[in-house]
Amino acid sequence: MHATLLACLLNLIACGIVSASSTAQSSAPAEGSNITLVTAHLLPFSIQEGRQQGFMVELVREIERRLGTNRPVRFLPWPRAYRNALVSPNHVIFPLARTPEREADFDWAIKVAPLTPVFVTLNGRQLDLDSARQQGAIAVQQNSPFEQYLRQHGFTNLIITTSAAPIPIRMLRAGRVDAWFTARDLASYSMREQFVTEPITYSEPVFSVDIYIAFSRAFPAELKQAYLDTFAQIKTDGTFTRIMGDYLTNAP
């Protein structure tokens, strides 16, 4: 009698352990199931609304499609997108310029293209760093490597914008700023989209930096490798060149 009762109790305990273990396993999220993809409206890299998606969005969505996950891309104001990826795990952020100041903050997984910042004017003047410093006002995007660079080089005449475009273009056309400091590709694409008819003058490239599809520091290793392998396929089969060619005149 006592032996039978003891056996029943042991069976119940064992079943309880197995049930609890199964419940814990089923409730645990699969690796990569809580990944967030973030970007901002930054022509021609990522376009929230328009006839095109932006080449960075197209590349990320193509990676997601080939992986069979098709996670949505979240468009946020750039300062918020940047902060989310900086302080939260499991984030993919793009386009992100790789700078020494940011080096330790992100996992620089996929290099996509070079970025060449220039001064843009509509008054016919071609600026360099010294002459731009003497202008009345320079528009530059908040929390961008462009703002960081100008501040490091002693600029105090900056007008900070929360978006890359079209606000700086409107400021230029209205005479509220003398120049706009941004990426050459972003400026030329945005000017076309805004149907700017005034003569546009670009400075020589002030510096060069690479843009990335980057990950937050805490990111699943297997998913990172899957992203890397899939991006390599996209470059090999010609998809990368095709996508980039739709946006850039000198695609890498």
Fold of 36-114+209-245: D-Maltodextrin-Binding Protein; domain 2 (3.40.190)
Structure tokens at 50: 């328009």
**pLDDT single digits (tens) 96-114:** 999 999 999 999 999 999 9
Rg of the Cα atoms in the chain: 24
Write the Ramachandran bin of 32: left for phi over 0, alpha for psi from -120 to 50, otherwise beta: left
pLDDT of residue 249: 62
CATH architecture of 117-202: 3-Layer(aba) Sandwich (3.40)
Same fold, 36-114+209-245 and 117-202: yes
Q: Cα–Cα distance between 247 and 59 in angstroms, integer? A: 12
Buried b (16+ CB within 10 A) or exposed e, 82-114: bebbeeeebbbbbbbbbeeebeebbbebbebbe
User: Is 80 exceeded by the pLDDT of residue 50?
Assistant: no
pLDDT at 37: 99
- The full set of domain ranges for the chain reads 36-114+209-245, 117-202
Beta-carbon contacts of residue 178 (< 8 Å; ≥ 6 apart): 121, 123, 135, 136, 137, 138
Total-model pTM: 0.74
pLDDT digits (tens, 9 = 90+) for 150-204: 999 999 999 999 877 889 999 999 999 999 999 998 899 899 889 999 999 999 9
